[in-house]
Amino acid sequence: MASKSRPVVAVALGLLTTLCLSACSSGGSGGGSSKAGGVVHITLSHGYTDVEAKEITREVATWNAANPKIQVKLLFNGGNDGALQKTLANMAAGSSPDIAYEYGSSMAALAGRPQVDDLTDKVNAASFNWNDFYSFERDAATSSGKVYGVPALVDNLALVYNKKLFDAAGVAYPTATWSWDDFRSAAKKLTDSAHKQYGWAYVADGSEDTTWRWLAMLWQAGGDLLSSDGTKAAFDSTAGLKATQLLHDMAVTDKSVYLDQGNGNYLNLFNSGKIAMLWTGPWDLSSINPDVSYGTQFLPAAEGTHSSIAGPDNWMLFNNGAAREQAAWTFLTWLVSTQTHGQFTLATGDLPTRESETKLPSYAQYLKKYPGDAVFVDNLKNVTKSRPNTKTYPQVSQAIGSQVQGVLIGHTSPQDALKAAAQQADSALASGS
């Protein structure tokens, strides 16, 4: 027995050592570098997958070939949902990339940090043409009057509907002047409980996904989220009650709303012809199966404003020394330029981030390739308000989201929900820094 174990132990130790040596020697650079030879290496961290990932890889390869002095390396951040956590960890460990894709909602957490670059002067340079970006995008990139990001992506919520289901139920397609009443009665007519068909789907997981759709409704009813100085909740108002009441009426009374758990199942059901209408963004269009004939339209209005809401995301720059910062800015300017981003939208179906992109000769081609996007681009003018870029917004969002969820499942009355949400929001705003 003893003699049997010795060779085994020896082999194991040998294997261990070999593997250790190979593991310790395979390492990455962790970031970019700037060498005296004149070539600056910068890193760009992103969460793109699928078509978007292919396109950005192609664009970076094009840049690298044409710009031997500035070489860009792409890093995948594990998925944008975890991007902020990874960024925080990177910042704590002192190993941030040069450019990172961040959700707009992360701006509040990152703005003003020593590791994050203040881009105000850079974007205001005449050649950059900052005003070419839509106004709400510029708002989303700004915090306390300073600019910390450059728009990477813009989207908005619009109405997407299944034409075949409308035809079958004999309901006229949604128009650009639909009211809430039109919307509600259509959803009711399109609901067939025997066949488990729903008129509308709402993401009811209590997260920002729940909140931001409700916010669009609040704005459609003419309400506001916070007081003008941002210190108190202003959504516990007539407008807020109207919005919440509509949700109650549709989900609890009419039972015409499918409550999605946050796992994107509503899209699968839409594809299977079980849901007639969605309030969603352009990102879902490419997941709609070719055998589903769909249309897009503005969101309905309560008081005449077909307000929508947008979720712009930003490229943010991190401080890794002057040489890398300069190189990163040069690259980024090219990446977000009209020409380059126009190419990106043509390949991916993302919306244009700059108004000048709609004047490109390739724009007609873009609209032809992505017919669903036309309404979304027009809808950008319906985005008049933005979510506040403050550190306390996540708590306000959570307060609203969980109360709206309660209303949707019939657990809370609209009045109680608003009161509770306003209370929680006020205390969060008061204790916030």
Partner 1 sequence: MAAPSAPPSVVGPLPAFDLETPRRRRRPSGWHLFLLPLALVMLTPLVWMVITAVSTTQESRQFPPKLPTSIQWSNFSNVWTGSPFGHWLLNTAIVSVIVVISNLVLCSTAGYAFARLRFRGSGLAFILLLATLMVPFQVVLIPTLLIVKSFGLIDRLGALIVPNLVTAFGVFLMRQFFLALPPDLEEAGRIDGASRLGVFRKILLPLMGPPLATLAILTFLSIWNDFLWPLVAIQSPQNMTMQLGLSTFQGAHLTDWPLLMAATLMSQLPVIVLFLAGQRMFVRSIASSGIK
Partner 2 sequence: MTSTQAPPSAAPEPTRSRPSLLRRVWWSDALAGWGFISPTVVLIGLFGLVPLVWAFVLSFEKNDLISPGKWVGLSNYRKLLHDPQFSNSVRNTIEYTLVFVPVCVIGSLLIAAAMNRRIRGMTFYRVAVFIPVVTSTVATATMFNWLLDPDFGLVNAALHKVGIANQGFFRDPHEALMSIVGMTVWGWLGFGVIIYLAALQSVPPDLLEAAAIDGCTRWRAFWRVEVPLLAPTTLFLVIWLTINSLQLFDEIFVTTKGGPVGSTTVVVYYLYQQAFQFFNGGYASAVAFALFVAILVITVIQLTIGRRISHGER
In the complex with partner 1, which residue's Cβ is closer, 100 or 380?
100
Tell me which stretch binds partner 1 (CB under 8 A): 23-31, 157-165, 172-180, 338-346.
23-31
Q: Among residues 125 and 430, whose Cβ is nearest to partner 2?
A: 430
Which strand (E) or helix (H) includes residue 81?
none
Residues 6+ apart with CB under 8 A from 323: 34, 40
Question: Mask 183-222, x = binds partner 1 (CB under 8 A)?
Answer: ----------------------------------------
What is the x/- site pattern for partner 2, positions 182-201, by CB under 8 A? --------------x-----
* Cα distance between residue 149 and residue 219, in whole Å: 26
Burial class (CB within 10 angstroms; exposed 0-12, middle 13-18, buried 19+) of 4: exposed
CB atoms near residue 209 (< 10 Å): 17
Q: Report the partner that residue 258 touches, choosing among partner 1, partner 2, none (CB closer than 5 to 8 A by kind).
A: partner 2
Decide if residue 13 touches partner 2 (CB under 8 A).
no
269 lines the binding site for partner 1 (CB under 8 A): yes
According to CB under 8 A, which residues from 72 to 101 bind partner 2?
84-85, 88, 91-92
Alpha carbon distance 261, 282 (integer Å): 20
Note whether 50 binds partner 1 by CB under 8 A: yes
Dihedral angle of Cα 357, 313, 77, 31, to the nearest 10 degrees: 80
Sole binder of partner 1 in the list 7, 8, 28, 37 (CB under 8 A) = 28
- What one-character-per-residue DSSP string does 70-100 give? EEEEEEE-S-GGGHHHHHHHHHHHT---SEE
Tally the C-alpha atoms within 13 A of residue 329's C-alpha that lie toward its C-beta: 17
Site string (82-101) toward partner 1, x via CB under 8 A? x--xx-xxx-xxxx-x----
Instruction: Give which of partner 2, partner 1, none residue 262 binds (C-beta under 5 to 8 Å, depending on kind).
Output: partner 2
Q: Work out what residue 405 binds among partner 2, partner 1, none; the CB cut-off runs from 5 to 8 Å by kind.
A: partner 2
The position carrying tokens 């044409």 is 66
> How far is the C-alpha of 43 from the C-alpha of 45, rounded, in Å?
7
For the chain, the straight-line distance linking the first and the last C-alpha, in angstroms and rounded, comes to 68
Q: Which residues pair with 43 in a beta bridge?
A: 73
Helix or strand holding residue 366 (H, E) = helix 363-369
3-class secondary-structure state, position 347: helix
HSE, CB side, 13 Å, CA atoms: give it for residue 84: 12
- Residue 177 interacting with partner 2 (CB under 8 A): no
How far apart CA 339 and CA 373 sit, in angstroms, is 19
Find the binding residues for partner 2 in span 261-280 (CB under 8 A): 261-263, 265, 269, 274
Helices 322-335 and 338-348: angle between axes, nearest 10 degrees: 60
The answer to the question of residue 423 lying near partner 2 (CB under 8 A) is no
List the single partner that 290 binds among partner 2, partner 1, none, CB under 5 to 8 Å by kind: partner 1
Report the interface residues with partner 2, using CB under 8 A: 84-85, 88, 91-92, 109, 113-115, 196, 204-207, 258-259, 261-263, 265, 269, 274, 391, 394-395, 398, 402, 405-406, 409, 411-412, 428
Report the interface residues with partner 1, using CB under 8 A: 1-2, 5, 12, 15-16, 19-20, 22-24, 26-31, 43, 45, 47-50, 52-53, 74-76, 78-82, 85-86, 88-90, 92-95, 97, 264-265, 267-269, 271-272, 274, 281, 283-284, 286-287, 289-291
